[in-house]
Every structure is written in C-alpha cells, then in structure tokens.
Amino acid sequence: MLKGNNKKRIEIELRSIFDKAKYDQLTSLLKKNARDLGSDDKDVFFFLLPKKVVKVVNNVSKKTAEIVIKLNRLGRGSSDFEEMEISIDPKDFDKAVRLFSDLNFSQIQIVYQKRHNFEYKGVSLALKYTNSWGYHLELEVLVSRKSQQKLAQEKIRKVAEELDVKIISEQKLTEFAKKIDLNYKKGIYTNK
C-alpha cells in the first residue's frame, strides 16, 4: 500500500469458507489464543474492472473511511494484491461512492462485512460474514516484494493447518468469484 511513501505493500491473501459452527469455534479459539484486534465491520462498495478493483470503504467500527485500489482482482489466478489507499473523511463516504458510481465500471457490488480481526503467529486473520460469501476467514501476510510470496503463503498455510481450516484453491476461488459476480448481476444479493 502506498501511504505517503513509495514502499510497496503487497497483501498475500488466502481464504477459507465454512459454516456457522466452524465460525463460532474459530471465534472462541482465536479469542483465547490470538491477539484480538477487535471488531472491524465495514460497508464496502466494490467497483469492478476486468483486472482491478476500486473500493470505497466505510470502516464502521473504526469510524474511518478510505478509497482503495487493488491492482489485481480476486479469483483471477493470484493470491497477491498490491494496494494503494487514500484515507478520506467518513463524512465524504457517500460523495466518494457517488463519484465512482457515475463512472463506467463493469459492475458494482455493495457488501456489508461483519468482521473481527486477529493476529496469530505473524498472520493477520479477518473472521468475516457477508451475504455473498457467508462465513469465511481471510488469512494475510504483508510483503514488500513479490519474491516473498512463497514464504508468506507457507506461513499462512501452517496457521491454517493449525486452525484446522481448509484453504480454498485458486481454481475454486475463481469459480466462486465468478458465481458471486453472476449472482450480483442477477440481483440475488441485496445492498446490505
């Protein structure tokens, strides 16, 4: 992420999808054994391009807002996401949404994320629920060079194994992302 400097911030992200029982079990386990970073609920507008994503994010729990550009799109064969972020005043959230809504994006997805963050053995964990994904876990390590990706993925996979969660494969993630995109186009998901 570029924030006042030119240092790259590349998120190496892997995900796991599960049911409510596993979500509850993980919540309990992480509250006991991980560093609890607290609630991080978000109201997010995803503005989709074929290979990139622009997000306008209202960080509801933290009372902040931001515009984020991901230079890679989920489900497009890669688990690395370079990001650039601009903080905005939360009172400008609706204005930012309107600005991007008036541009010609291929699709807009509106998602409310019920989210709780943890840090466990050097891996950032976001335990989430959304209407499109259901219950899931995002496991992430930040790196500054793509050459660090393999080691970061190994670290994430070790934590996932310890937590007894199955990482979704790139192929399944691609299929799942396409299904979500299609369901948004069909109007299956509501605005929140």
Distance in angstroms (rounded) separating the CA atoms of residues 104 and 178? 20
Question: What's the confidence (pLDDT) of residue 190?
Answer: 62
Question: What's the confidence (pLDDT) of residue 3?
Answer: 44
Burial label, 98 (beta-carbon count in 10 A; 0-12, 13-18, 19+): exposed
Average pLDDT per consecutive 10 residues, the chain (192 residues; last block may be shorter) = 56 94 98 97 93 93 94 65 89 96 88 97 97 95 89 96 95 88 82 50
- H-state helical runs in 34-148: 93-101
pTM: 0.87
What percent of the residues of the chain are helix, what percent strand, and what percent coil, each to the nearest 5? 30, 40, 30
Contact (Cβ atoms closer than 8 angstroms) between residue 140 and residue 156 = yes
Domains and CATH numbers, the chain: 10-186 (2.40.320.10)
